[in-house]
Structure formats: C-alpha cells, structure tokens
Amino acid sequence: MRKFIALFVLFLFAAALIMSSSNTGMAWLTKQRYAPDALLGSDKYTYGDLFGISYLPAFKKVKDTSPVSPPVLSAARKDLSLYVIGDSYFYSSFEQVPDYFERTKSLTFYKWDDRPVQSFKLPQDSTRKVLLIECVERNVLNVVNPQRVQAVFELPVQESPKPAVGRLNDVIREMLYHPTLEENLSFALFDISVFSVFKELKASFNQAFFGRSPSGVVLSQSKDFLYLEQTVDTAATGSSFKPISPKTYLDLIQQMRLIESYAKSIGFDEVIFSFIPNPSSVLLTEGRAYNQFVPEVARLGGHDLRVIDPTHALSKNAKANFFHNDSHWNKKGAQIWLDLLNARLLSLPK
C-alpha cells in the first residue's frame, strides 16, 4: 500500500512538472481551472486579479465582470471599419461588437499577442478603415512598436522544419529552463479554491505581524487599494513614479509614427493611439507625484498623431473609476474612456 501511495504521489508530481513546463499544457489547465463549476476550480480572478495574487481577506470582494452597456449612439451613418489592437482593459470591458462605437459598421479586435493564421487584407468597401492602438501605461514601452503591430497582421516567416533530434532538444530545453516554471507549478498544484483559506491566513499573518504585502502587489498608503508592484516601484518599467528621460519619450513618439506609417501602408485611413494610465497614476493614494507619462506622450504626439489621453477625465472622482482589488478600471472608468473615443470617432473625416 505504501509503495502504491508513493508511486501515485510520484506520478502526480511528475505530471504537474510536465504540464507546468509546457505552454500547451498550461493553456489547457488554465481553461479547465477557470471553467464554470470546475471540480478543482480556482477563484483567483473571482475577487479581482490583485486579490488573486495577495489573498488579503479585506479585498475579497466579488468583481463585477459584466461588460459596459452599449451607449445610445448619436451618428446614424455607419462609415467606419474599426480595428483594435488592445489589452484586457478593452476586452474585459466591452463586447466585441460595433454597437459601442460611433460611426462604426464593423469591429475587429486583436490582443497584442495574437498572431495571424492567414494573410491579412482589409476589405475593399466604402468604409474608412480606422486602427486603434490601446495599451495600459505599464506595458506601453514594452509593446508599442511597429514590430509588435506587424506581428499581429503579418504571417511569420516560415522556417525550415527542424530534424527530430532538434525538436526533441527544444522540448527538453523548454521543460528544464521554462522561464515561469515556479509560477506554473504553484498554479498547477495550489491554485485551487479549497486552498484559498490557507493563503488568506498566511497573507493576514504576514501583513499584521511583519507589515509585508505579498510579492507582486502593494497595499496603498490609504489602505483601501491594491496595486501591481510594478506600477509603484520607481525602478520598474511602466511605473507611475519612475522618472522618464526625454530620449525615452522621443523614441516612443518615433515608434508611434512608424506604426502609423505601417498601418497606412497596408490600407488604414486613420490611426488612433490611447494609453490608459495605471490606477496608481490617478488615484493619488501614495503621497508621490505622478511622472505624467501618459499626458506627456499625448502632448508630444498630439502635433501630428491622433492621441486620446483619458488621464484627466479618469482623475475626477478617481476612486469610483477603478476596482480596489483589481488592476483594471471598472465600468465607470471604461465608460469615461469610451465617451472620449466616441468623440474622437465622430470628429474623423468623412
């Protein structure tokens, strides 16, 4: 019996290691773990993504995941085809239908890491083709460049197939040196709802006795918001408080111009950029001055680029516009941005 139990445990951990070392395996496990009524399901995102990192009980509040209600649109004409490259600020807030957007006849959405399975070609019709580049502040410097945009639209260069030995080496290398193996193992073995109570007890103990927030998150000085650590760490790229050099701004504006040139070369008529400020940029709970990254990009790029900056609008009554236990805006914040976007769509040439 002991041998059987030992073999079972060995098999269990071996299976977890193999799955955690495989991108395909982790994609399958994630889908199963977050399926409705999953037997070994996770509540990691039920209460907000930052609660799912911290497990601080004070922030265990169910997150409203319902999309923003489509507005009453003012324009009767439908003369735009809107294409969006965006992130979870967009796809978690709006259904992928044109009903939200002024003048929009059709909507096509791509995530930043989407890759085409066939050649991209804009339809030859009378609509004006508009490309919206949307990204949260913390990721702008990492993803907003023409190479990432081209990768969404263009098929990758086909490489010669590797011999069997080479493919086997790639599999072994991925298993032995997977960059997120530790996080994947933790997810595979322990990210199950039945373990949440123990995680909450541990987080509460560390917070009460050591004043220490769990790795990856920071408790605001006002004690009523959680932030991604990256967004408040003054040494981290994408932080609301890291000083930004003039060269960094100039380089980014040049990247944006190259994106616009590329988009127009493949048939787009208009390109709009909108970067969403980190919650820590507008909530003003840290006693530090925002580095003004998003407004400065809008100011510098506004001379020859179409840039929507929602910072000022989101700063008004800011605590009502963001989740306390999640790194995203709530429906009120999303609606504020949608109004700004629709105003810009209405102003585009006919």
3-state secondary structure (DSSP) of residue 124 = coil
Q: Check: CB of residue 152 under 8 Å from CB of residue 110.
A: yes
Report d(CA 304, CA 248) in Å as an integer. 18
Indicate the pTM of the whole model. Answer: 0.85
What mean pLDDT is predicted for residues 87-113?
Answer: 97
pLDDT bracket for residue 200 (50, 70, 90): confident
3-state secondary structure (DSSP) of residue 83 = strand
Q: Which residue has the higher pLDDT, 70 or 157?
A: 70
Q: Please tell me which of 111-120, 143-152, 177-186 the model is most confident about, judged by mean pLDDT.
A: 143-152
Q: What is the pLDDT of residue 195?
A: 72
Return the HEC string of 249-293: HHHHHHHHHHHHHHHHHCCCCEEEEEEECCHHHHCCCCCCCCCCH
What mean pLDDT is predicted for residues 138-146?
Answer: 98
pLDDT bracket for residue 18 (50, 70, 90): low
What mean pLDDT is predicted for residues 256-262?
Answer: 98
Report d(CA 65, CA 71) in Å as an integer. 18
Q: What is the pLDDT of residue 286?
A: 86
Q: Which residue has the higher pLDDT, 298 or 179?
A: 298
Q: Which residue has the higher pLDDT, 26 or 237?
A: 237
Report d(CA 208, CA 186) in Å as an integer. 24
**Torsion region of 267: left, alpha or beta (phi above 0 gives left; psi -120 to 50 gives alpha):** left
User: Given a cut of 80, is residue 126 above it in pLDDT?
Assistant: yes
Which class is 80-157+235-347 in CATH?
Answer: alpha beta
User: Given a cut of 80, is residue 180 above it in pLDDT?
Assistant: no
